[in-house]
Structure 1
Amino acid sequence: MELTHYQAKQQKKPGAGGYEMEVVKRSELKGFKVVPKRWVVERTFAWNETNRRNAKSYERLSNTAETVTEISAIRLMLKQFDT
């Protein structure tokens, strides 16, 4: 995956898992401005950090770390069904 100076609007080739990546150019204006859809990713990372095993990265193998992350995501989804 190559992002030429982050100027491309959208990558044509799907990345890992068939996802397409969109690079959002930051505004030239000073001050705070909400970047679309970024908060969804940040929120998901924050939810995963509540699990100590994800926050501390005890796993030696990347497959194990990926599986633990998937299990924590499933746990979060099940918790949302419960409420």
Structure 2
Amino acid sequence: MVRPAPKTLGAGRTAALGDHLPPCLPDEPGACGQSARSHYASYCAQLKARAQVRIERDLPEPDARITGTVVYDSHLQRMRTRLR
């Protein structure tokens, strides 16, 4: 299934994330009652959790702690600054 491109608000800004997604995911048997935005938030949370597990599992200490906190926090702060 090809998803449509996100809506733009001009000057390169995009509409609220998840607004362009279908109301239910392709593997669901029918309408689940959740909004596309709720699905998107759930997907992002799962992705974040999987990334954290990979960092903790695949990197030896103390690299995992540094990457999982210090590097992650600095990237997160930069992304938040760019989104404002």
Q: Is TM > 0.5 for Structure 1 vs Structure 2? A: no
